């Protein structure tokens, strides 16, 4: 996560991108395009998905047609998939921190615009499914309302114009390189929140690069700060996962001296994909032993350069023995920090222990301690799933 570059004046207005910044649109893209390709004898390659980020619908369609050699014109392709996308707009989930950021800016009276390469009608359809989103924006600008989409600055300049302010007063938050380029070309300050993992280095033109919207610090830009951090931790809407403890990379105890209890990621890959990488904490239930405090990492672990997104919980208790195969259920209730790389193994180990101390102390606070009594943590594995945890959460 890159530190923000110094600014010469305070920011008064914010402009947000939509797809990939506020909404997890990537899951919908694969849900629509993947079966379409199968019907045409092609196989979806998720490694090429980053080529679609930040593109207008027309540009994205052209990329898909070229990459997969489909026998359609761009117009024909769009006419076939657009209705399929429209059916999915209501299923797009907000990215972590999106609701919190929008609510904060509105409550503090910060004029905020929404500026997306998507057509205005698509934007309206997407945000209509999210409570009070539309009312939170002073202006909404779609890609069909300006001459050129991103990376041209037109959308952002139009957004500033509609808010009756100058470009230098505006802070743009974007997930794509075309969006960052557009914001800088408009003469605005830009925070990049890359939606494609392990691509931070490509966003050097941004004024700040962060891991997720959970890491936005408005006070760095002269805007009102969040007031929900508690002793270095951020309460989040709890989420729940479970599975048998398996052998991991063999580096927890052997390399780090920190025994992690790894879970089979394929059991809950959809759930993990909805949550940003970083360091979290909460409660862990072992079927035959009890309930313990835990801290965990989600992500690619930059120091070891994982190729897959993993979940690695560390139960804050000295067991003295392995417990492979035992049922483990996790209630994740708080966030500590973004995923980060470290210059040395020693500095990584030091930071993990610091995360453990933060979690150990925070879990005694009432806002987190109440989840220790969650029935989800005590259920047999075959009866415990994330929907059970969500049902319990909804009843609180």
- Residue pLDDT, tens place only, 200-221: 888 999 999 999 999 999 999 9
Q: Would you state the pLDDT for residue 99? A: 96
Catalytic, out of 19, 154, 158, 339: 19
User: Is CATH 3.30.379 the right assignment for the domain spanning 25-91?
Assistant: no
Q: Would you state the pLDDT for residue 1? A: 55
Active site residue 19: yes
Active site residue 274: no
* pTM across the whole model: 0.83
Task: Count how many residues are written for the chain.
Answer: 396
Residues of the chain with CATH 3.40.50.1000: 13-18+94-221
Mean pLDDT estimate for the chain:
85
- Say if CB 88 and CB 113 are below 8 A apart: no
For residue 229, pLDDT over 90 is answered with: yes
Give the list of residues 6+ apart from residue 326 with CB closer than 8 angstroms, or none.
244, 245, 286, 287, 288, 289
Residues of the chain with CATH 1.10.150: 25-91
pLDDT, tens digit, for every residue of 242-278? 888 877 545 455 555 677 777 776 666 677 778 888 9
Catalytic, out of 26, 207, 208, 312: 312
pLDDT, tens digit, for every residue of 307-352? 567 788 999 988 877 777 888 899 999 999 998 878 888 888 899 9
- Say if CB 23 and CB 91 are below 8 A apart: no
Tokens 């117009």 identify what position?
Answer: 75
Residues of the chain with CATH 2.40.30.30: 234-377
pLDDT, tens digit, for every residue of 86-101? 777 778 889 999 999 9
Active site residue 388: no
CATH architecture of the domain covering 234-377: Beta Barrel (2.40)
pLDDT, tens digit, for every residue of 142-196? 999 999 999 999 999 999 999 999 999 999 999 999 999 999 999 999 999 998 7
- Say if CB 56 and CB 143 are below 8 A apart: yes
Catalytic, out of 17, 174, 215, 355: 17
Q: Which two tokens stand for residue 384?
A: 């415990």
Q: Would you state the pLDDT for residue 380? A: 60
Q: Would you state the pLDDT for residue 382? A: 47
Which one of 3.40.50.1100, 3.40.50.1000, 3.30.460.80, 3.40.47.10 gives the CATH number of domain 13-18+94-221? Answer: 3.40.50.1000
Q: Would you state the pLDDT for residue 389? A: 54
- CA-closest candidate to residue 158, choices 171, 145, 168: 145
pLDDT, tens digit, for every residue of 34-87? 888 888 888 877 666 667 766 777 888 888 888 888 888 888 888 888 888 777
């Amino acid at each position: 996560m890159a530190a923000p570059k110094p600014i010469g004046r305070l920011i008064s207005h914010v402009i947000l991108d939509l797809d990939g910044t506020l909404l997890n649109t990537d899951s919908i893209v694969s849900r629509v395009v993947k079966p379409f390709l199968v019907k045409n004898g092609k196989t979806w390659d998720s490694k090429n998905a980053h080529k679609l980020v930040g593109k207008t619908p027309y540009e994205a369609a052209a990329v898909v047609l070229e990459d997969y050699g489909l026998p359609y014109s761009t117009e024909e392709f769009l006419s076939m998939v657009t209705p399929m996308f429209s059916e999915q707009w209501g299923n797009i989930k907000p990215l972590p921190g999106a609701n919190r950021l929008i609510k904060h800016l509105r409550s503090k009276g910060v004029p905020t615009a929404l500026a997306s390469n998507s057509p205005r009608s698509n934007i309206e359809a997407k945000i209509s499914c999210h409570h009070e989103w539309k009312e939170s924006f002073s202006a909404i600008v779609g890609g069909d309302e300006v001459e050129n989409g991103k990376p041209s600055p037109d959308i952002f300049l139009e957004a500033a114009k509609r808010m009756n302010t100058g470009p230098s007063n505006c802070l743009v938050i974007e997930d794509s390189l075309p969006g960052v380029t557009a914001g800088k070309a408009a003469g605005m300050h830009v925070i990049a929140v890359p939606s494609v993992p392990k691509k931070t280095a490509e966003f050097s033109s941004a004024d700040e690069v962060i891991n997720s919207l959970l890491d936005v610090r408005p006070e760095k830009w002269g805007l009102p700060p969040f007031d929900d951090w508690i002793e270095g931790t951020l309460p989040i809407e709890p989420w729940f996962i479970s599975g048998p403890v398996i052998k991991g990379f063999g580096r927890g105890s052997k390399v780090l001296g920190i025994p992690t209890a790894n879970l089979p990621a394929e059991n809950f890959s959809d759930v993990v994909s909805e949550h940003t990488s970083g360091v979290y904490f909460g409660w862990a239930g072992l079927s035959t032993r009890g309930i313990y405090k835990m801290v965990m990492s989600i992500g690619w672990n930059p120091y070891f350069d994982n190729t897959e997104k993993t979940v690695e919980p560390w139960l804050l208790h000295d067991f003295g023995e392995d417990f492979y195969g035992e049922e483990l259920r996790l209630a994740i209730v708080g966030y500590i920090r973004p995923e980060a790389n470290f210059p040395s193994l020693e500095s990584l180990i030091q930071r993990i222990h610091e995360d453990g101390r933060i979690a150990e102390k925070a879990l005694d606070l009432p806002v987190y301690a109440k989840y220790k009594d969650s029935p989800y943590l005590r259920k047999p594995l075959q009866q415990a799933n994330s929907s059970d945890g969500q049902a319990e959460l909804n009843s609180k």
